[in-house]
């Protein structure tokens, strides 16, 4: 599961893959942002790293399926052709 967290006053988002179930991630996020007294959103990725974000600074959280690994620049969709020479 891919997790994206937007942080206020930051041009970049925190993006990582988590091995947790979507329902479990949703519960962790809603509990932290629901005002139940938690001031920190704590999530972990599939490599065992932990991420802590102050709930007051969370702009958005996006949960979705993890994309396949990207290799290279990903500029073109078709095959590369040699330039024409005259």
Query: What is the domain extent for residue 6?
Result: 2-64
Q: Is residue 13 part of a domain?
A: yes
Q: 42-78: per-residue pLDDT in tens?
A: 999 999 999 999 999 999 999 998 776 666 665 555 5
Q: 20-35: per-residue pLDDT in tens?
A: 999 999 999 998 888 7
Q: Is residue 80 part of a domain?
A: no
Q: Is residue 79 part of a domain?
A: no
Q: Is residue 86 part of a domain?
A: no
Q: Is residue 36 part of a domain?
A: yes
Q: Is residue 72 part of a domain?
A: no
Q: Is residue 35 part of a domain?
A: yes
Contacts (Cβ under 8 Å, ≥6 apart) of 25: 1, 3, 18, 43, 63
| pTM metric for this prediction | 0.71
- According to DSSP, the residues that pair with 42 across neighbouring strands are 52
User: How many domains are contained in the chain?
Assistant: 1
Q: Is residue 26 part of a domain?
A: yes
């Amino acid at each position: 599961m891919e997790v994206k967290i937007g942080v206020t006053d930051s041009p970049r988002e925190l993006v990582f893959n988590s091995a947790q179930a979507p329902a479990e991630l949703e519960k962790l996020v809603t509990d932290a942002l629901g005002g139940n007294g938690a001031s920190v959103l704590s999530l972990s990725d599939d490599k065992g790293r932990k991420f802590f974000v102050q709930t007051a600074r969370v702009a958005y959280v996006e949960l979705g399926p993890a994309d396949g690994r990207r290799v290279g620049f990903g500029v073109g969709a078709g095959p590369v052709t040699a330039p024409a020479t005259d």
